[in-house]
Structure 1
């Protein structure tokens, strides 16, 4: 099952600022659910998994979740609380083992890619209720999920998802 998503990030960040001790660290991470290629260009409707992610974003928006939070998480933290040293970093998570196996870095990224691929497949399976509940027919979802799952199995199609990671420290 996929969670409904956070509906009000500013309130969440404000509450964290309220309860966090001075000098304490905040770390938030959020996916943007845009599939990208090796050059980090968004892969859109030409990708089944890209279409699935678009359907997921629509489903989350249908339920008033903060779909665009990954894009502005650092700005929201700066605006909502007494935080300093706000740092943002994109972590590009590979989907599948698509790296050369002759280096330690390639082997490590392939391991991450294999775990991500399995997570993505479970996520596709778990997204059915959310996406169908926002207006897609069961038949269309089953077709989309089948092809998206098949696509993420294909190691010749290197794809990534971006995880936006933001850290900050509450001021003393």
Structure 2
């Protein structure tokens, strides 16, 4: 229907609603004109510490992320899209100039304010913290619908939100950003 009609296709953090990410890439390719620009950004549903090491389920927000991953997997969502996004685009065969970049998004303002970059990242972190808190709140139905006990969820949600608000706990989310041009 929209074959070759667009100059840009942009998708950000849509893996939760996509069951077949490879098909999404194929449809994006079909919709783009030759030379068109594809930009996809996905996070991997993990949180990492200041050394960019996965925190795992040793903290409440890590447990919440694990519960979300499990709930999405039950629904066959493309939970692992971020891990191989550039390879999926490469394997499609209709793109070139494929570039991948990890963007580390701070969750909260925990960095030193001694530099302009630190001040900037703290501002980003404040916005991310508010987005993450809203995301935690919004994930309740999805996670409960996968069978978690409501009391257990409420405890996890409460404590995950407290952790995200704690500026003494440095946390990042990795956003995998991939761009490509259609041949």
Common fold by TM > 0.5: yes
Matches within 5 A, 1:113-132: 113-132=125-144
Change (3 A) 1:75 1:42: same
Change (3 A) 1:131 1:3: farther
Question: How big is the shift at 1:81?
Answer: 4.0
Contact persistence 1:34–1:42 (CA under 8 A): yes
Contact persistence 2:15–2:81 (CA under 8 A): no
User: Aligned-residue CA RMSD in angstroms?
Assistant: 1.3
Unaligned runs of 5+ in 1: none
Question: How big is the shift at 1:6?
Answer: 0.9
Matches within 5 A, 1:127-166: 127-166=139-178
Q: TM-score, normalised by structure 2?
A: 0.90
Equivalent in the alignment of 1:44: 56
Question: How big is the shift at 1:90?
Answer: 0.4
Q: TM-score, normalised by structure 1?
A: 0.96
Ranges of 4+ aligned residues in structure 1 off by more than 6 Å: none
More strand by percentage = 2
Question: How big is the shift at 1:19?
Answer: 1.2
Contact persistence 2:16–2:79 (CA under 8 A): no
Tell me the secondary structure at the aligned position of residue 59 of structure 1: helix
- With CA pairs under 8 Å and 6+ residues apart, which has the higher RCO, 1 or 2? 1
Q: Number of paired residues?
A: 170
Unaligned runs of 5+ in 2: 1-13
Post-superposition Cα deviations, 1:8-65, rounded to whole Å, max 9, x if no partner, equal 0111110111110001110000010111001000001211101100000001001100
Equivalent in the alignment of 1:15: 27
Equivalent in the alignment of 2:38: 26
